[in-house]
């Protein structure tokens, strides 16, 4: 849904401006990854998705530790 996607983008942009998150772009990428994960894929595609999840995991953990020390 394009309307919801735009709303999410506005929310993360505002969160970044208010120093609640470090990078709205990174959170948009994570959201896109989440959307990809929510569907069924072949084993080959799952491996690529898993590698993407591993790539973003340190960023998410860092963000959570900043907000919830």
Q: Report the percentage of the chain scoring pLDDT > 70.
A: 94
- Beta strand segments in 1-69, E: none
pTM score above 0.85 = no
**How much is the pLDDT for 39?**
76
- 18-40 pLDDT, tens digit per residue, is 999 999 999 999 998 888 888 77
Q: Whole-angstrom Cα distance, residue 27 to residue 24?
A: 5
| Structure tokens that stand for 44 in this block | 């080959």
Task: Give counts: helices (H), strands (E), the chain.
Answer: 3, 0
SS3 22: coil
Q: Whole-angstrom Cα distance, residue 46 to residue 56?
A: 15
């Amino acid at each position: 849904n394009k309307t919801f996607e735009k709303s999410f983008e506005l929310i993360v942009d505002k969160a970044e401006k208010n120093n609640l998150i470090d990078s709205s772009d990174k959170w948009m990428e994570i959201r896109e990854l989440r959307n990809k994960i929510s569907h069924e894929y072949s084993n080959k595609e799952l491996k690529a998705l898993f590698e993407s999840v591993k790539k973003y995991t340190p960023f998410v953990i860092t963000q959570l530790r900043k907000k919830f020390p």
